[in-house]
Amino acid sequence: MSKKKTYFYDSFNEDLVTAKQQDYSLPEDYQWETKNGLQRSVNFLTRHGVRALSYLFCPFVLFLHRDRSCQLTAMPQTGCYLYVNHTQTVGDALIPYYILRKKWPAIVVTPANLSLPIIGKLIPHGGGLPIPGQLRRLRDFKQAVFNNIKSGKCVVIYPEAHLWPYYTKIRPFQPAAFHYPAADQAAVYCLTNTYQKCWWRKKPRITSYLDGPFFAPADLSPKKRQEILSQQVHECMTKRSQQSTYEYLDYQRREPQ
């Protein structure tokens, strides 16, 4: 029997999977929203192409299936937020397309993803929202997020921020991950991908659980709403993560020197 691959880490804020240009930053004139007619056509074709790919990749490569409690009809027609545990490389770009069959996802990504060959060029056309490195551009990014909500899309956020392949627990969330729904009070959902043993191959199969909506009282301050939403989602995803029954990879914290 082959030994599991082991990842060693010092903290939950580590990138265990990195791109060649991990420090890639967006151009100062980067535009999140498309106004050009040709670019809109490219966006349309790319998104439909990615969705078609997700219908093949998710069930036949990841062996992903949705739990029966995953009721897509419960999601509103208006825009909403979806929080997902960050445990797949290609899969995390495709799973939202597969799950959200009646809504278009707009996925918040790190700029390093845009440096990837071929795929990086398609990310903005497929709905990716890369986070700016310049503080002065955060206002434009925030407006792009809110505009996607207003247009009825589902803004997808990976609150753990760092990719840990096949990790079966829920890591601490980044403090700012719930800033946006706390500000505009749109509905919040979470999707927890869990892992189970596949009898005929080494890699596990995936069961996805969709939960929500979550809200925080409107009469509280944005900071307090942010804390409440973060706690609600973290508790729900932690409970769902207990459905993972198989650890494909081994994660070990380094001992302090």
Tokens of 76: 């509103």
* pLDDT value, residue 70: 61
Residue 154 lies in a domain: yes
pLDDT digits (tens, 9 = 90+) for 54-87: 999 999 999 999 886 665 556 777 899 999 999 9
To which residue do tokens 């082959």 refer? 2
Task: Tell me which residue of 242, 250, 74 sits closest to 164, measured CA to CA.
Answer: 250
In the chain, the N- to C-terminal Cα span, in Å, equals 32
Count of domains observed in the chain? 1
Are 190 and 236 in contact by the 8 Å Cβ rule? The answer is: yes
Whether 16 maps to a domain, the answer reads: no
In a domain, residue 136? The reply is yes
Give 30's contacts (C-beta < 8 A, 6+ positions apart). 130, 132, 137
Residues (pLDDT < 50) of the chain are: none
User: What is the CATH classification number for the domain harbouring 228?
Assistant: 3.40.1130
- 8 A C-beta contact, residue 249 and residue 2: no
User: 240: Cβ–Cβ under 8 A, 6 or more apart, which residues?
Assistant: 192, 194, 209, 211
Residue 116 in domain: yes
Range of the domain at 32: 26-253
pLDDT at 71: 57
Task: Give the type of residue at 147.
Answer: N
Q: 41 in a domain, yes or no?
A: yes
Task: Say if 221 falls within a structural domain.
Answer: yes
**Which pTM does this prediction carry?**
0.94
